[in-house]
A and B are shown apart, each in its own frame.
Chain A
Amino acid sequence: AQTVTQSQPEMSVQEAETVTLSCTYDTSESDYYLFWYKQPPSRQMILVIRQEAYKQQNATENRFSVNFQKAAKSFSLKISDSQLGDAAMYFCAYRSPWGAQKLVFGQGTRLTINP
């Protein structure tokens, strides 16, 4: 069974600075998806970024980028130019590619932005 681990329960960063959230996972599959979801206080789950394991290029979405290290089974999220609206819980998630598959989530990291 796949597992996802986020070792940082809480992180904080100054507004406009850069922060990196860590995620590691365990799987025996060679192809899979990885995601970062954001959950603000409104509790809505918002997809931030996705990465397909077969792609070597790291995914980027505006100020959000990932560092995907397949051999190390590491998938960190970098947020550049942090904004107050980035404050939220961030969840790393794993999904097998074939058919209808569940998301396996990490424990989450609470990100605080200091003005």
Chain B
Amino acid sequence: DTAVSQTPKYLVTQMGNDKSIKCEQNLGHDTMYWYKQDSKKFLKIMFSYNNKELIINETVPNRFSPKSPDKAHLNLHINSLELGDSAVYFCASSQDGGGLEDRVGEQYFGPGTRLTVT
């Protein structure tokens, strides 16, 4: 009964390849996110989808393309992988209301996908 799951957990690939990471949440949340954690452990938002609609797109190269087929799934496709893309990618989800309600806005994270580009 995992709340937020990601596949794969580890991904090793060569420069120039195209790869995808999948995320699924069974919490019934309406918002999903992708975060990137770099080698210095710094976490930064990449994208956010609310009910399948892209609402946050932070200065991410257009080699990265998120896709949300339904509100329980958010996938990340990366084209032409570069060495600098090596990182841990986290998917998260939350239930967002209109204000400061209890538990609203808490983000639940998946286990992360460690991507290594060689």
Contacts and interface: CB of A to CB of B under 8 A. Distances in A.
Interface of A: 31, 33, 35, 37, 39, 42-45, 47, 50, 52, 54, 89, 91, 95, 97-105, 107-108
Interface of B: 30-31, 33, 35, 40-45, 48, 50, 55-56, 58, 88, 90, 92, 94, 96, 98-100, 105-109, 111-112, 114
Contact of B56 (A50, A89, A102, A105): A102
A105 B43 contact: yes
A44 B109 CA distance: 7
B99 A97 contact: yes
A44 B44 contact: no
A102 B43 contact: no
Contacts, number: 67
A52 B43 contact: no
Contacts of A100: 30-31, 48, 50, 55-56, 94, 96
> Which DSSP category, helix, strand, loop or mixed, fits chain B's interface?
strand
Contact of B100 (A31, A35, A43, A102): A31
Closest 7 pairs (CB-CB, A-B): A45-B109, A102-B45, A100-B31, A105-B43, A100-B50, A100-B96, A43-B112
A44 B105 CA distance: 19
Nearest to B30: A100
Contacts of A31: 99-100
A102 B49 CA distance: 11
Contact of B45 (A43, A97, A103): A103
9 contacts: A37-B109, A42-B111, A47-B108, A95-B105, A99-B96, A101-B105, A102-B56, A104-B45, A108-B41
B105 A97 contact: yes
